[in-house]
Amino acid sequence: MSSESVTDGPGKRRRGFWIFLRDVLVIIVIAALVSFLVKTFIVRSFYIPSASMERTLMVDDRILVDELTPRWTGYQRGDVVVFEDPGGWLPPAVQKPAGPPLLEGIDKLLTVIGLSTSDSEDHLVKRIIGVGGDHVVCCNALGQIEINGAPIDELSYLDLPEGDTQASNDPFDVTVPEGALWLLGDNRDRSQDARAHQDLPSGGFVPLENVVGKAFLITWPLGRISAVDGHHDIFNGIPDAQ
């Protein structure tokens, strides 16, 4: 064995290790960048913290939200959407005790790149009932909501007490401004939705700019993996707003 091979062996191993470490770091950075871009422009994950959308979405369900498609297709009645609080929908945030700085930093980083759902409690999820220009009234003699004079039968997805067919116990008569939405929860008796915020400056309407995207898939728990149903057929017979 030559002296050259003896001296070069350990050096080559050290260089090999640093090259391997460099490659791993590059892969991690690229993966984080891709995840950040996906979260920012394409799809995002949230968990469900309340019962306001039962039976469609249950507490602690994890969902994926499509941020990209609605930028071209827009939103339609029936879509289940996640949105930022337009002001006054959520109670003042209670400051949680800070955890270990390292864990807090990791969680913030994972939230930025879309691998954590820690910001879910700062957002809400509801179903679109009225879009810009719609005249939405509750309720007719059968307990149904009417949109532009046409009744909708929501019993297939509403979580109502047995024997109850009233779509809302809180009457309302609103015309949705252009560029805004009228959003209600499927669990009408346990949802602090548009009906509960009509006294706000926004009138209970949510601007489109506050909408993050459309929920399209339940990803957790495993037994509930399924598409989020928009029940769009229920809204097919609604005439255009006058």
Catalytic, 226? Answer: no
Total number of residues shown for the chain: 242
Strand partners, 65: 44, 215
Catalytic residue among 35, 39, 116, 126: 126
Catalytic-residue membership of 39: no
Contacts of 168 (CB under 8 A, 6+ apart): 138, 139, 145, 184, 188, 195
Question: Residue 219 class from Cβ within 10 Å (0-12 exposed, 13-18 middle, 19+ buried)?
Answer: middle
Contact 97, 56 (CB under 8 A): no
Element (H, E) at 212: strand 211-220
Distance CA 2, CA 6 (A): 7
Residues 228, 82: contact at Cβ < 8 Å?
no
d(CA 214, CA 197): 22
Q: Which one of the listed residues 39, 52, 120, 168 is annotated catalytic?
A: 52
Using alpha carbons, list the distances in angstroms from residue 104 to 82, 111, 120, 121.
Answer: 25, 11, 16, 16
| DSSP letter for each residue of 127-165 | EEEE-TT-EEEE--TTS-EEETTEEE--TTT----TT--
What amino acid positions are annotated as catalytic residues?
52, 126
